Chains A and B, each alone.
Chain A
């Protein structure tokens, strides 16, 4: 397996008023292609900040972030946006679907940034909705879907452009146990059968059990690493 994500001495400081707050203190991390990594830690530990840096949503104050062979800490806003479109699929805790669009149209949004024809876009959307088991809900708006279904649409949207890396921020945080379990199994399947590299931030140890490796973040540092077998 090759290294997909590499962080070297990454420091992140935020300016809060006149105060500078250091959230990450010299983090070093390496994630292999095809891994399903869970990032755990208490609130305010810096795990979401770490995820944002890996996903190119934010830039480190110091250090190097290399993803898929690219030093993304050196990319400017516009280039970083294009890089995200090509390499990253996002799954949010609260799904973050566009309420005025149907499930199919929501899934199609990342494909609008590609040169695919309308017919090809529709074909890809149909395929990915079938993969997450929601082909029959394509014309439904988010308000007409359950939380679990909305999160499946969100995963479909993250997958549709075939990204290098799937980034999930508390994907089961807003779901009941049954729906959470279904989503985690879906992620596991995507990792196992489709070979997707997944990084998931979670509070939930049961959710982390579905990952192949779990890292704990505390007070801006990686405190230990436990390699686990996928469930």
Chain B
């Protein structure tokens, strides 16, 4: 601790250079925290081992419909606890650019497979008693200022009613509050409508659905149960494709972008460049202080002590800037990250960031520290 002032003073010998280097490290760790934070959040969500849901779609494509009657057969598979179904309404509010994540469901079976949505029994009952009823997520209600009792007209480019129009209207009977993990997902801010009402009112594709969601007893049996379900419909006109919800989400995300690869590539490139920048700063700083370091050795500081001073200086520079960068990324991730499903920076990213900062300090500080250690006092004092 008594050496801190000596190290701190050395660090600020050239204020502008130190500030610029710190800013570079701050920006790099802001990027690190943001990208790795989002990446880890997504991976953590996808890798949730307690997730016991399977998604079943048509083998042809996810937008092909399947008969709703498949559900009864699926319930016969060993290990299946509940099955719910879901169909895309593809609606919009007032203007086509205001897309609404509307899905036709059975509220009771949906609530059973998605307890995270926190749908209450009263809301299920209300959906049953109000055929054109709609149950909406709190985030969606807040976005449009909708409340229970409102009648919401939704347009759709797909589904025409039996009277030949595309105008649908639903009565909001409840607003559900999903868990924080689900609050940012499309399901958490969905506009759920009664399948029975929708199916009776639409002109075509009746008695068919787009997706089944199966709740199973044991997540470890996901592969076996998936195979058993698909086997039920093998060689039928409605062959299915079943996979775990995590795998399905990961596949969907990968179609959009390989976030893992992008995040690691960018962070890797930035850290590599930063290594040279920091190493150069430390080398320059030590080069300028050769006579001063020689004086310290003259006064009795050993080679090891002088190199420890240089390494500590490098560590302070990197760690302070890294901590500031990670704090900024924690703030940024609350805003930008929530769009991609990351509400907060995971602790593992903070630990990773600090480890990277220590490595950065060690690698960039080592060459100048060794130089300081090997410094010949007589030559250095004579500025040879």
Q: Are B299 and A78 in contact (CB under 8 A)?
A: no
B61 CB, min distance to chain A CBs, angstroms? 69
Q: In the complex, how many residues of chain A place their beta carbon closer than 8 angstroms to a beta carbon of chain B?
A: 26
B1-42 toward A: CB 8 Å interface, digit per residue (1/0)? Answer: 011011001101100000000000000000000000000000
Asked if B377 is at the interface (CB within 8 A of a chain A CB), the reply is: yes
A55 to B10, CA, bound (A): 27
Asked if A77 is at the interface (CB within 8 A of a chain B CB), the reply is: yes
Residues of B within 8 A of A86 (CB): 300
Q: Are A81 and B378 in contact (CB under 8 A)?
A: no
B271-308 toward A: CB 8 Å interface, digit per residue (1/0)? Answer: 00000000000000000000110011111111111000
Residues of A within 8 A of B378 (CB): 52, 57-58
Asked if A110 is at the interface (CB within 8 A of a chain B CB), the reply is: yes
Q: Are B295 and A85 in contact (CB under 8 A)?
A: no
Q: Are A98 and B302 in contact (CB under 8 A)?
A: no
A77 to B306, CA, bound (A): 13
Q: Are A57 and B377 in contact (CB under 8 A)?
A: yes
A133 to B203, CA, bound (A): 103
B300-339 toward A: CB 8 Å interface, digit per residue (1/0)? Answer: 1111110000000000000000000000000000000000
Residues of B within 8 A of A57 (CB): 298, 377-378, 381
Query: Which residue of A82, A90, A98 is within 8 Å of B9 (Cβ)?
Result: A98
Asked if A145 is at the interface (CB within 8 A of a chain B CB), the reply is: no
A84 to B299, CA, bound (A): 7
B19 CB, min distance to chain A CBs, angstroms? 15
A118 to B301, CA, bound (A): 18
B240-266 toward A: CB 8 Å interface, digit per residue (1/0)? Answer: 000000000000000000000000000
Q: In the complex, how many residues of chain B place their beta carbon closer than 8 angstroms to a beta carbon of chain A?
A: 24
A185 to B12, CA, bound (A): 37
A112-B6 contact, Cβ under 8 Å, with A98-B295, A100-B12: yes
A82-B5 contact, Cβ under 8 Å, with A58-B378, A98-B292, A100-B13: no
A110 to B296, CA, bound (A): 8
Q: Are B292 and A82 in contact (CB under 8 A)?
A: no
A25 CB, min distance to chain B CBs, angstroms? 19
Q: Are A78 and B291 in contact (CB under 8 A)?
A: no
B292 CB, min distance to chain A CBs, angstroms? 6
Q: Are A82 and B302 in contact (CB under 8 A)?
A: yes
Residues of B within 8 A of A112 (CB): 2-3, 6
Query: Which residue of B2, B6, B9, B295 is within 8 Å of A96 (Cβ)?
Result: B295
Residues of A within 8 A of B2 (CB): 112, 118
A96 CB, min distance to chain B CBs, angstroms? 5
A81-B297 contact, Cβ under 8 Å, with A92-B381, A112-B3: yes
A78-B13 contact, Cβ under 8 Å, with A84-B298, A96-B295: no
B201 CB, min distance to chain A CBs, angstroms? 80
Q: Are B298 and A90 in contact (CB under 8 A)?
A: yes
Residues of A within 8 A of B302 (CB): 77-78, 81-82
Asked if A210 is at the interface (CB within 8 A of a chain B CB), the reply is: no
A86 to B302, CA, bound (A): 13
**Residue picked from A101, A109, A110, most chain B C-beta under 10 Å:** A109
Q: Are B304 and A110 in contact (CB under 8 A)?
A: no
A113 to B297, CA, bound (A): 11
Residues of A within 8 A of B300 (CB): 81-82, 84-86, 88, 110, 113
A108-137 toward B: CB 8 Å interface, digit per residue (1/0)? Answer: 011011000010000000000000000000
A113 to B300, CA, bound (A): 8
Supply 22 A–B pairs (Cβ within 8 Å), ascending by A.
A57-B381, A58-B377, A77-B303, A78-B302, A78-B304, A81-B302, A81-B303, A81-B305, A84-B299, A84-B300, A85-B300, A85-B301, A88-B300, A90-B299, A96-B292, A98-B292, A100-B13, A101-B9, A109-B6, A110-B299, A112-B2, A113-B300
Q: Residues of A at under 8 Å CB distance from B? A: 52, 55, 57-58, 77-78, 81-82, 84-86, 88, 90, 92, 96, 98-101, 105, 109-110, 112-113, 118, 157
Q: Residues of B at under 8 Å CB distance from A? A: 2-3, 5-6, 9-10, 12-13, 291-292, 295-305, 377-378, 381
